[in-house]
């Protein structure tokens, strides 16, 4: 887990450093997420055979950390970096697999009143897949998310936000379906996520 957490913290520190260089306020935050109404597709291939099937996803939990800085249009256009941990389980599955996402996003924020912003953000990134099933090796791929929601300011430093959006994952990997029988796999997931978190500005 250190190999996952240390790069995530490094990305956040880099965001803080960039903010200082640009003399802009950096916003950092943490959130919990729950995924619902999703679907997962598995494709596996091995010498002499293949399989392809879909399943619905369970209610899947996770959490994320992020850092962001404004850079254009009177602080309405924002760039950020994010790391996210999702535990994903299929409806008829017995394993809860970990997806680790690391990416960037572009965010457009509009001030409604002094204490309330509405925003939308687009978030592509890189993903690492850690399956519980020991027939599968770790997989690698990409993710793409689109979110929108309100941001409520408590004061100039602290606030709360919630957002709703979809996250798509595409994962490639390999493994061993039986003794000395190698396989390749592809996984696609799409799920609605609701996020709720707190932030601080420095």
State pLDDT tens for residues 27-58.
999 999 999 989 999 888 888 777 888 889 99
DSSP structural state of residue 4:
H
At 141 the pLDDT is 96
What is the distance between the alpha carbons of residues 120 and 31, in angstroms, rounded to a whole number? 16
Chain Cα centroid distance, residue 87:
11
With bands split at pLDDT 50, 70 and 90, how would you rate the model's confidence at 152? very high
Tell me the domains of the chain and their CATH numbers: 2-201 (2.40.160.20)
Residues 6 or more apart in contact with residue 113 via CB below 8 angstroms = none
Helix (H, G, I), strand (E, B) or coil at 21: helix
Chain Cα centroid distance, residue 37:
17
State pLDDT tens for residues 80-138.
999 999 999 888 776 789 999 999 999 999 999 989 999 999 999 999 999 988 888 89
What is the distance between the alpha carbons of residues 202 and 180, in angstroms, rounded to a whole number? 55
- The tally of CA atoms less than 13 A away on the side-chain side of residue 148 is 3
What is the distance between the alpha carbons of residues 122 and 124, in angstroms, rounded to a whole number? 7
């Amino acid at each position: 887990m250190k190999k996952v957490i240390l790069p995530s913290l490094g990305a956040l520190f880099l965001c803080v450093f960039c903010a200082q260089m640009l003399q802009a306020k950096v916003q950092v935050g943490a959130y919990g997420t729950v995924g619902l109404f999703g679907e997962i597709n598995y494709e596996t291939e091995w010498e002499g055979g293949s399989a392809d099937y879909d399943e619905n996803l369970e209610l899947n939990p996770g959490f994320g950390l992020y850092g962001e800085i404004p850079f254009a249009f009177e602080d309405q256009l924002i760039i950020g970096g994010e790391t996210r941990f999702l535990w994903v389980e299929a409806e008829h599955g017995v394993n809860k697999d970990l997806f680790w996402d690391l990416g960037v996003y572009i965010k457009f924020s509009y001030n409604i009143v002094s204490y309330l912003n509405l925003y939308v953000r687009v978030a592509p990134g890189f993903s690492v897949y850690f399956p519980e099933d020991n027939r599968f090796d770790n997989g690698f791929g990409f993710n793409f998310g689109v979110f929108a929601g309100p941001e409520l300011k408590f004061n100039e430093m602290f606030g709360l936000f919630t957002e709703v959006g979809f996250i798509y994952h595409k994962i490639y990997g390999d493994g061993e379906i039986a003794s000395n029988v190698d396989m390749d796999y592809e996984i696609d997931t799409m799920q609605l996520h609701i996020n709720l978190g707190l932030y601080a500005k420095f």
